[in-house]
Structure 1
């Protein structure tokens, strides 16, 4: 899906028809293309305790989760109240293995005598028993439509039954190995059989003959799963690698991002996502269009033994008996659209005060003005070799931009005429902000200078230099008492610089210590009570505005660049180097949602004035729109 959206260059949050322009960037409606695959929010809901789960499935009609455990109990949870389980069924003894069908209506189990039993979970009645072999059946699996059941014994005997009649339709043998595993293709016509050996055999069930043998040289196989279109087989191994094999072709398998430990569970949903659970309790979500990691979350201290991913959200079970649930509303936010088509990176995206206009600037002289009501690119903004920063005046009449040419341009938003071209910075202009009700413009450059300009006359009225290294960001408190600047030297790895200025007196106040690497962004809370800063180390630091004391640190373990706080002050957004955006609840300081979409760095974040939309700009050349509700 993501591949398709990149091809057609995405969507806009406002409804309407597709509108294209002769310029590189385009503005496309989202109603025809839908949203990109989403990840999972990292704070799941715990479900009441349960012995180690062997298999899970959801009933779509009644929105209930069912799970069978090592004791042979089948429990059911209503997803509206996941802390109140109901026991539906008890098997006579502990099963050697057990599995539920995808619709959670059928249970297949095997006992220590080698007997395979299929039970109707709805009424508890036995459908059939198979006593054909005394060998332990080590794995059982239903086809996606539950019409077929496959099983493999410790001796390598593979059997396939019709679920409702119990008729044995196929029987063949494979090289025996410990912990055999099975997986059906979505069409039910292919069956993959694997063990802890290094070989997977794919059988065509119409003729019960091997169609392909896949060898993995480096590590033992732990799990397999067919892609929903049945054209590829996903193979997980004990060394943490996941490989994608094109069926019927001799191509080298594609290796995905490694897990640090063995992957034991694989499952697909209908939203182009693959979930993989590993021995150390980590779950990774992949977008099957690009096979990129959407999200990685660690939920358990021990191995993930079962996963359920679908329209109801996601449930993960660990061998420690703990279950965690991500409801659909906690699934990461899907984007509603974007402006795309240009390969030039987006360094800044700025809303006009009334929210009707969006300015987009970046590399390659990219400078665009978009009318969000008419859904058209209404003009070209001031030109720089690269635009590094931009801001509208409080009354929306002026647009100021700064770039690599060391100049600042102040232009009229009514007709685009240039009011002033300000020069005087010795380096690229990296930050701009209007103060004094738009009468003064404050600018910063990568040579560490902070300058103050009279907007009416276009003259420089003050210049300050306190930064020893590069200055990258500027922010002003809502009461315009404090000005805070940040920077550092990203290539050297020196500690970041964060400086507080008395804005009224335009003089240095103090240096704030705490950032181990370059400071990239500064944002004040709407009520002015605190401000947040980000750095290359992946830290967001929250500072008290009155005392300038550090109150807390939010860690991301990844390079961070832009920050934005919603107009109502309830959400802090942080853009990461991996292209994702993390949303934090400012009341609890817990991460509550994720936005995934950018391919590479997220360079800019801003909220619309009404707070309904979060806008991000990235190194991939796109501007993406995310709904806040």
Structure 2
């Protein structure tokens, strides 16, 4: 195959304030998994840069859990559907699909023999179901709650027990199979967010919005004690997770801390302080082997250090929202990928290791629409917050170099000290981070722009399929050269790195390449996309062009042969390709609204 997926730089969990996030591990202790949008993300716990993404759900996925056998994963979505799929093969073959609930699935639990499945969440009067995984046959009824159920867990030893936790401030205790209601637990006075049995089945614990954790006997359901006295946390508790030996557990709270508890004494052994901002609220946690993980409201995944509670061992960063643009910069002998998302977040990825870093300080406040790197090694970005920002690639903080535009910028292109910003109804030329020219009285609506390497020519594509050429004279633009025509509304423009060609992409699914030295004569028309393409990028050697768009395909074209191409179907299965960048002539990076960055190796 002429292309091969080299790396998947996965998204973070998609978080919602006041809503717990289930993060779970596999029984062998190698992986952990969580959800973002319609994706289930499986990551290696030792090296979280190794990731796999399951993309077969039609609706947003809420929770995913491994079967104790490790061979299957059950995942539930916002419409009440549960899919059970294979983990041993790359294709993740679907085994069964059920609809146990009519509303959002909030939590899932398996029996230790991997035969039965309990599913809880929202619905019309029915908030839970327990059934055989291979037939869907019911093995009891989980009743007794008046509001949706947030959490469920099954005792992993016989005799089986099920505990549920609900927004009606009660927990339910069930015996079976077949599972039947035994009694209601009423210690909490606010929503109960999480319930978990200890691995040895001796106890189970409940945690709620009232900041309390209660410990119960795992077989009889009797109250044993409250952890931490009257209050375990000063804020609501969203998640708990037991140690493998069942002697301790961790709890994640909205008070921005994670606490490590000794179950025998009921006291906190360690308090992990995670920060002081709203985004530092802790909404999920997992104890997997020797790893203690927590998830912040920001989506960051924290590896906690028992010996240094104020500083995590490492923090996994990235995107939680759709990515709209992409670029690559080489520095310090390494290649770095920069990506910008709809929430204004910019992330830097090490292309070899997948290590992430986000700029700190005040950045964009809205969607990042376009980005590039200039010759001063600054990241140039434009955003729907009506600004163009210049940030040093060597640092880790946003700089104060921000230029306010008169209207919303759509694209940026840089060459030397010049930056071309195409805005709604306006073209702006910046030099040394200052506006030096703007054209307000245009008789066309500009869509995209590109500066020729060397900065001698600027090309601007409009909504009517025309490409306007301007010569750059010092600090101004002057119309020059022929008026070029594409087949439709321009969606992307780009000069080749050697400046010899201009590529134009339009909404009629055509890539047109012009030869600059021959008065911009048409070198070729390239056809192949099935839906509107939206992004293009030249390879560093100026011999290939990658295009991507709404058909979720990427096509790599040979500039010198219209019939020679590499077609990469379904690069991002759920969303269109929104950004492309080259690391070298054989390595292409793609991104999409699935919040994932992928790196591909090409063979011509």
Q: TM-score w.r.t. structure 2 length? A: 0.46
The structure whose Rg is larger is 1
Q: TM-score w.r.t. structure 1 length? A: 0.44
Structure number with higher relative contact order (C-alpha < 8 Å, ≥ 6 residues apart): 1
